[in-house]
Chain A
Amino acid sequence: MKMKLTRENIIRWAPALVLLGLVVLFAAINPAFLSQRNLARIALASTPPMMVALGVTFIIVMGSIDLSMEGAVSLCAVLFCLMFLKLGGSLGAGAWLAIPAILLCGAFFGWLTGMVHVRLQIPSFMASLAMGFVGTGAAVLVTGGDIVRIDDDVFRALLTWRILGFPLMVHIAALLVLLAWFIQNHTTLGRNFYAVGGGEELAHASGVNVHRVRLAGFALAGVFYAVAAIFQVARLGQAESVTGANLMFVAITSVVVGGVALWGGIGGVLNAVVGVLIVNVIGNGMVVIGLPNYLQDGLLGVLVIVAVVLSTDRRLVSFAK
C-alpha cells in the first residue's frame, strides 16, 4: 500500500517521529543519554505514569476525560501501604493479599467516579475532578497527613531486582501494556469503547449499553491507577497524600501528545505508550543536556496545545467550551 501524505497519516505518525527526533537530538548533544543506565532511568520514571496513561486512554477513547488520577493514586497508595503493614508487612507473610485488594479498591473508586458521571449526569471532567479531590481528601483522612513506609525486601525487589539491566517493575509494566492492548483490540469491551467514542447516539442505537460501557471504562481505569499506586510505592518505599501529585498533568499530556484525540474514537494504547515516552524523554533529556527540569511543565503545556490543535478537524468543530 502506498503511503500518502494526508492529514490522517501525518497525525498517525507524528508522535513516533517526534519521539525519534527527540532521542536523536539528545543523543547528539550528549551521547550518555543512550547509555544503558540512563535508559533504565527513563524506563523507571515512566512506569507509574505509563499505568495512569493506559487507564485514562480508555476513557479518552470514549470521548470522556478522567482527571481523578491524582486522588485515586494517592488514596490507593496509602491504603495499599496500610493494608500491607496490617497483613504482616512482608510479601511472604500474607501481605501479598494487599495487591488484589488494592486492585479491587481502585476498580471501586473508578466505578464510583463513573457513577457520579453517569447517574448524576455530570460532565466527566468535573465529575472526575471532584472525585479526585475526594480521593486526595480521603488519603489525608486515613493517614492523618503522615507518611506510611514499607521496608519489605521482597516487595522492593520490584525496584531492586534487575533483569537485563531494567528493574522488575519495568518488565511487569511492559506485560500490562500488552494486556491493555489486548483489552482494546480483542475484547467486546475494548471495541465498545471505540463505538461510544465514535458516536454515542449511534452506539446506543445499535444496542450498546452506553452507560454500562462508561462505568466499565472508569472501573478499568481505576484498576490501572491502583497498579500505578503499587509501582509508586515500590519506587519510593513510602506513601502519603501527595504520592499522586502531578500525575494528572503528566498523564493527560502524554496521552494527548501521543495522538489520542480528545474527541474520542481515535488513537489507543500504543499512542499512550509513545506519548509517555515522549514526555519522559523530554524530562530526562533536559537534565542530561544540562537544562533545569522545571522547564518541563511549560514545554509540555505547549506540546499538548500543539497536539490538540493538530488533531482537531476544523471542519467538524464549530466552537469549544
Chain B
Amino acid sequence: MTMQRFKPHLPWITLLVLTAVVGVVDPNFLRPANLLSLAGDIVPLFIMALGLTFAIYIGGIDLSVQSMANMITVIASIYLASLGAWVAVLCIAAGFGLGMLSGFLTTRLFVPSFISTLAVGGVCFSVAQWLSGNRALNMDAEQRNATFGWMIGHTGIIPNELFLGAALLAICLFIERRTILGRVLKAVGAGEPAAKASGINVGRYKMLAFAISGALAAMAGLLFSVKLSGGAPTIANGFLLPAIVAVLIGGTPLTGGVGGVLNTLIGTLIVAVIRASMLYLGIEATQQQMLFGLVLIAAIALTIDRSKLRTVK
C-alpha cells in the first residue's frame, strides 16, 4: 500500500491506536461512562471545529472563532434575562452575520482570510468588552435551567450535549454531501480558478462558508456559556489552537478540497483522547499547549498538498 492510499486512513487509525494505548495503561479509561463524559465535555470545541472545517475546506482560515465564542458568551449572559430562548437566535444570527462580513472582506475586497478574520475577531473582542464592561457575568441559574437546561442534562447515561453535537454534525454532513453548496465548496477547495471558470458564482458560496463557520462558532459559544452559566470577554481563550488541531489532524489539509466534517469528528476525538491521556500518563497540564503546538505542526506537514502551492509564502 502506498503512502498516498494510506493517508486518508491515518486519522482513524491514530485515534484507535491512541485509545488502545491509554486503555492499556489505565483500563478505567475505557469504561463507557468515562468515554461518554469525555465526549460530552468536548462538544463545544467540536462545534467550533465543525464550523472551522468549512473555512479550511475552501483553502481559507477563520481566526475569529475564539473571539466570536467569547463575544457570544457575553451576549448570551446579558440577553438571556430579557429575550429568553430567543437569545439563541440572536447569537447565531450575530455569528452568521459577522462570518458573512469576513467572507465579504475576503471574496469581494480581496483581503486574505487570516487578516480579515483577525480584524473581525478584534471587532468581536471590542464588542464583548463593551457589553460586559470588562467583567465576568453570570446567568440566572433558574432561568438558564428553564431555557437551556435541556442542552446540558443527561438522558440515561448519555450527556445531552452529544445529541446536540450529533444533530449539528448531521446538518453539516448533509450540507457537505447533498447540497449544491457542498459540491461548490469542494470545487473551490480543489481549485478556485477552475471553479470560477466553469461559471460558478464562487464569491457567494465562499461567503456562505465563512458565515457557517461564524454561526457554528456562535453556537459553540452559546453552549459553552450555558455549561458555565456565565460569560466573559476572554472565557473561551484556549479554544483556537485545539480547534485548528482538530480540523487538521482529522485530515482536512490547509490547502482545502479534501477531508470534511466527518474528519473533524475524528480529529476532535483525537484531541480529546490526547488531553485525557495526559492525565492518565501523568503529564502535567502545563505541557498541554506546547504539545498541541507540536502536534499541529506535524499535522500540517503531513496533510498539506504541496502540489497546490507554487511558492510557499
Contact = CB atoms under 8 A, between A and B. Distances in A.
Of listed A124, A132, A264, A304, residue having the most chain B CB within 10 A:
A304
B114 A314 contact: no
B52 to A, nearest CB: 13
A129 B293 CA distance: 9
Interface residues of A, number: 58
A141 B285 CA distance: 9
Interface stretch (B11-19, B87-95, B303-311): B303-311
A194 to B, nearest CB: 15
Interface string B98-131: 0000000111011111111011111101110110
B130 A295 contact: yes
A119 to B, nearest CB: 9
B297 A296 contact: no
A163 B115 CA distance: 39
B289 A140 contact: yes
Contact of B297 (A127, A200, A292, A317): A127
B5 interface: no
Interface in A7-37: none
A127 B244 CA distance: 12
B60 interface: yes
Given A141-B290, A145-B286, A295-B130, A133 B115 contact: no
Nearest to A63: B313
A287 to B, nearest CB: 14
Of listed B60, B114, B129, B196, residue having the most chain A CB within 10 A:
B114
A116 B125 contact: no
Interface in B180-208: 192-193, 196, 202
B126 A299 contact: yes
A126 B116 CA distance: 15
Of listed A126, A132, A135, A299, residue having the most chain B CB within 10 A:
A126
A137 B290 contact: yes
A320 B111 contact: yes
B300 A122 contact: yes
Interface string B228-254: 000000000000010010000000001
B110 A298 contact: no
A302 B287 CA distance: 36
Interface string A139-183: 011001100000000000000000000000000000000000000
A298 B119 CA distance: 8
B54 to A, nearest CB: 14
Interface stretch (A49-57, A94-102, A305-313): A305-313
Given A140-B289, A298-B127, A320-B107, A120 B311 contact: no
B297 A130 contact: yes
Given A121-B312, A292-B130, A298-B122, A126 B290 contact: no
A197 B309 CA distance: 16
A290 B57 CA distance: 44
7 contacts: A137-B287, A201-B311, A297-B125, A298-B125, A301-B122, A304-B115, A312-B111
Given A130-B297, A141-B290, A296-B126, 15 more contacts: A65-B313, A123-B313, A126-B254, A130-B296, A256-B115, A295-B126, A295-B130, A297-B123, A298-B122, A298-B126, A302-B119, A305-B119, A319-B196, A320-B107, A321-B106
Closest 9 CB pairs of A and B: A137-B290, A298-B126, A137-B289, A301-B122, A134-B293, A294-B129, A133-B293, A301-B119, A297-B122
